[in-house]
Structure 1
Amino acid sequence: MGERGRFLLPKRKKRRHRTAVKMVLAGILLCALLLGAEHRMRPMIETVAAYQARLLATRNINDAVLDIVQEENVQYNNIVNVRQGIEGQVTSLTTDMVTMNRLKAQVTNRVSEYLEKQTMQEVKIPVGTLIGGSVFSGRGPLVEFRLFPAGYVETDLYNDFQPAGINQTLHRIMMTVKVRVVGVIPFYSVTADVNTSICLAQTVIVGKAPSSYTDIEGGVSPFISQYDYGLQAREKLPQEE
């Protein structure tokens, strides 16, 4: 009996050893599959997260600018002074830079406040979309991720002149809002840049047509610019910093 027990003991050890080896191999295989799946799904997760971050930033920018425009009652005549000559021709445009800078600061602060209030966004992606391929896209249960937006805001103002017909020029006061949003989700960090231009105020300037007109694309020749109304207006407007 004793000899038989000694004979069976090595077999049991071998079985346990084989089981342990199989478990280790199964664990390695599982880790490899998970790493492969993560490598395959990562681009899709980053794309969806970046899209959600841009969507969130754009919505906050539009809401902030609309609120400030309504609160401050922003109108063209409140920020631009149009001077006319004896015959009614436009001689100069003067921008109220104090008002413009105040609007920049208000929009910057408001967008930042709105972004700070956005604590968490849920991002849900179908498993089939993560796997890839047109057959499985949009199919399967939803995988949920949490997006924590954070970023900085930069604003700028500029004048835009566009032809609006015979002897007419469309003058627009434009605001550019740049936002960089960092979306943080488990094991990922996604950065999305949003650049939006919004018209704060506009008007159509009607004046006496010059005897000759030259449309200039690049270059600023003083001789030619006397016939270019758009360039004359730009030169007379102060440059925003």
Structure 2
Amino acid sequence: MERWRRYFWPRRRLRQRIRRRGSGIQLLLSAALGLGLALVLIGFLDSKARPVIAAMAESRVKNIVTGMIEMEIGKTLAREAVAYDDIITFRTDSSGRITAFTSDSAEMNRLRTELLSTVVAQIDTLDTGMLGIPLGNLLPFSALAEKGPLLPVRIRSVGGAEATFEHVFTAAGINQTHHQIMLDLTVSLTLLIPGGPLDTQVSTQVCVAETVLVGEVPDTYLALSGQSG
């Protein structure tokens, strides 16, 4: 009996080793297959879903950043108590008719610099949770919009910000002209979205000061039209 046990026992251990080795090979094959399927899925999502994610992220960030810019500029203008007369000075003739406009370039440059620094500082503090895209927005079901886990979107860097002043004149009635001093502001952003970075720009126009001019507007205002602050 002992002899038969010694005879079969090595063979039994050999079969166990073969089964364990076969299980290990199957495990490796399953892992390789899973990795391959994951790579295929990632490639599919990158080619099909990334353009949709990029468009949604760009639109969402533009809406949020534009609203934030307008709000912060409004706060700064209110705090600074910026008035039309602080920026524009009229020249009149003996009859009180406006003959020319003069803008305070130093004041406009100071205001532009302050507004730019305020805007950039606020963009850096944006909550990434506000920028994330709900997964339900990618699905073709309106009931799932704004639902589900958030796909991460964050502003990785602010590439730069530019601002120029523009003078806009429009008819406001009989012998009246509406004069607006507009700030055209553009901010370059790099967004980090699933699949890699995305460069975009956010542009907005905000009225800094305005008034209604009564009487004929002189041709010399054309010298202000292309002026930047």
Tell me the TM-score range normalised by the shorter chain: 0.7 to 0.9
Q: Please, what is the CA RMSD of the aligned residues?
A: 3.4
**2:223: which partner in 1?**
235
Tell me which protein shows more helix as a share of its residues. 2
| Structure 2: tracts of 5 or more residues without a match | 1-6
197, 204, 224: which one aligns with 1:196 = 204
Q: What is aligned with 1:109?
A: 117
1:50 aligns with 2:62: no
Instruction: Output the amino acid matched with 2:140.
Output: G
In structure 1, the gaps of 5 or more residues are 209-228
The equivalent residue for 1:221 is none
Report the residue type matching 1:44 in the other structure. V
Q: How does 1:66-215 map to 2 (within 5 A)?
A: 66-118=74-126, 120-130=128-138, 132-134=139-141, 138=145, 141-151=148-158, 152-185=160-193, 187-207=195-215
Q: Is the CA contact (8 Å cut-off) linking 1:54 and 1:181 kept in structure 2?
A: no
SS where residue 82 of structure 2 aligns? coil
User: Mean Cα displacement is larger for which, 180-189 or 71-80?
Assistant: 180-189
- For residue 164 of structure 1, give the secondary structure of its aligned residue in structure 2: strand
Range with bigger deviation, 88-97 or 138-147: 138-147
CA distance in 2, matches of 1:129, 1:71: 39
* 1:193 positional shift: 0.9
- Distance of 2:43 and 2:210 partners within structure 1: 55
2:155 maps to a residue whose letter is F
| Percent of paired sites with the same residue | 24
CA contact (8 A) 2:169 2:180 kept: yes
Q: 1:11 to 1:230 in 2, by over 3 A?
A: farther
Per the TM alignment, residue 171 of structure 1 is displaced from its structure 2 partner at its CA by 1.3
**CA distance in structure 2 between the aligned counterparts of 1:148 and 1:41, rounded to whole angstroms:** 20
Inter-CA distance 67–19: structure 2 relative to 1 (3 Å threshold): closer
Residue of structure 1 aligned with 2:49, choices 41, 49, 52: 41
* Cα displacement (A) at 1:5: 4.3
Measure the CA separation in 2 of the matches of 1:142 and 1:149.
Answer: 21
The letter of the residue matching 1:142 is P
Helix, strand or coil for the counterpart of 1:69? helix
The count of aligned residue pairs is 220
Deviation of the 1:170 alpha carbon: 1.3
Quote the offset at 1:239 in angstroms.
3.2
CA distance 1:150–1:53, change in 2 (3 Å): farther
Aligned AA for 1:53?
V
What is the letter of the counterpart of residue 148 of structure 1? I
The answer on whether the counterparts of 1:172 and 1:199 sit within 8 Å (CA) in structure 2 is yes
CA distance in 2, matches of 1:114, 1:138: 28
User: Relative to structure 1, is the Cα distance of residues 238 and 98 closer, same or farther in structure 2, using a 3 angstrom cutoff?
Assistant: farther
* TM-score normalised to structure 2 length: 0.77
